[in-house]
Amino acid sequence: MKTKAAIAWKAGAPLEVADVELEGPRAGEVLVEVKATGICHTDYYTLSGTDPEGIFPSILGHEGAGIVLETGPQVSSLRPGDHVIPLYTPECRQCKFCLSRKTNLCQAIRATQGRGVMPDGTSRFSLDGKPLFHYMGTSTFSNHIVVPEIALAKIRPDAPFDKVCYIGCGVTTGVGAVLFTAKVEAGANVAIFGLGGIGLNVAQAARMVGADKIIGIDLNPAREDIARRFGVTHFINPQQDGNVVDAIVQLTDGGVDYSFECIGNTITMRQALECCHKGWGVSVIIGVAGAGEEIRTRPFQLVTGRMWKGSAFGGARGRTDVPKIVDWYMQGKLDIDSLITHRLSLDQINDGFDLMKRGESIRSVVLY
């Protein structure tokens, strides 16, 4: 079939919207009509050329929601008409990683996903007979996609696509980091570095679990207002408020119980660790730093009980946890609507990247 998609031809170039060829689903695969997709900082990271795994030409996008149109042979858990969220972190429930119960990093299709192809080693997308690569196993900047069954979370049919697409990455990443990775408890003090599409979801989850002080740090003063509406109790602007670590330590009588780095900057990663409380503070790295960058601290920071952790997709097991997060949104426990600041057509997708670069959007959503 033909479908409309935004093609990333090379690093640094704007996306080109065109009709591309999409082959139907093979064994274990599913054809999905994407109804909406968010534009995440990570799409920009790859498009900018900073991502060491970035492959071109490809179809980016990893934050979508849609409807199953067709299933290939051996697909047993989904059928046409089901509403789904594609998962860049799949859940096969059979690999060593899934069975360990210690991680959400299913490895069943990791090697081929990283090479921009389907599990059988080929791409379903092409243009003029030449293959276009998949991205993060999802490629939601295409109106139709073919995805492995294990990379689709089935969600309730009454959830609006234009909102729950954000659960495909940003919401789950932020909320999951609090609930599944850090396991923040009521009464804890929390610091959040970066109050964008991820950090604001960390904030609302910290409030949801009953955190005490929720300290937000951002260079953009325009983020203070929305951050307070999402649970932030104290706002620090590093350009105005001096030494960020000292300020946080003073506010919390020795440091926070949990910190979250939601920027992708190795300087703020160090600050996030060092503002943690001696003896037990846990710092969770969510932000993705540039290729080859390294984090630094004095080892004594760790010797004296501060801990560094990382979190991918919020530690969520996609097929199990994503439907629950959709339920929390539908029950009014999570606010997604206020974070979706712009709605665009696929033809306007490059405007979505520009809005993000200028810090004017929290989330832009493309509607097909």
Is 134 noted as a catalytic residue in this protein? no
- Chain residues in the site for ligand NAD (CB under 6 A): 40-42, 45, 169-170, 173, 193-199, 217-220, 223, 238, 262-265, 268, 286-288, 311-313, 359
Tokens of 287: 């932000």
Out of Zn ion, ligand NAD, ligand DAO, none, what residue 105 binds, judged by CB under 5 to 8 A for its kind, is ligand DAO
**Residue 31 or 263 having the CB closest to ligand NAD:** 263
Element containing residue 32 per DSSP (H, E)? strand 29-39
**Residue 161 or 313 having the CB closest to ligand DAO:** 313
Give the whole-angstrom CA distance, residue 144 versus residue 84.
13
Is 341 noted as a catalytic residue in this protein? no
Report 311-330 residues binding ligand DAO (CB under 6 A): 312-313
Q: Is the peptide bond before 57 cis (omega within 30 degrees of 0)?
A: yes
Give the whole-angstrom CA distance, residue 159 versus residue 325.
11
Is 41 noted as a catalytic residue in this protein? yes
Give the whole-angstrom CA distance, residue 256 versus residue 251.
9
Q: Which of 26, 110, 115, 234 is catalytic?
A: 110
- Cα angle value 41/47/53 (rounded, 5°): 95
Q: Which of 3, 29, 37, 42 is catalytic?
A: 42
- Cα angle value 20/24/28 (rounded, 5°): 135
Number of residues in the chain: 368
Is 98 noted as a catalytic residue in this protein? yes
102 contacts: CB under 8 Å, gap ≥ 6? none
Report 42-71 residues binding ligand DAO (CB under 6 A): 42, 62
Among 40, 118, 179, 326, binds ligand DAO (CB under 6 A): 40
Q: Which of 37, 41, 261, 306 is catalytic?
A: 41
Closest CA to 59 of 107, 126, 12: 126
Mask of contacts with Zn ion, 104-123, x by CB under 5 A? Answer: --x-x---------------
For 25, which DSSP code? P
Mask of contacts with ligand DAO, 90-109, x by CB under 6 A? Answer: ---------------x----
One-letter amino acid of 236: I
Tokens of 240: 């105005």
Is 363 noted as a catalytic residue in this protein? yes
Out of Zn ion, ligand DAO, ligand NAD, none, what residue 92 binds, judged by CB under 5 to 8 A for its kind, is Zn ion
Tokens of 60: 């980016």
Return residues touching Zn ion (CB under 5 A). 92, 95, 98, 106, 108
Task: Show which residues are catalytic.
Answer: 40-42, 62-63, 92, 95, 98, 106, 110, 169, 363
Return residues touching ligand DAO (CB under 6 A). 40, 42, 62, 89, 105, 110, 169, 288, 312-313
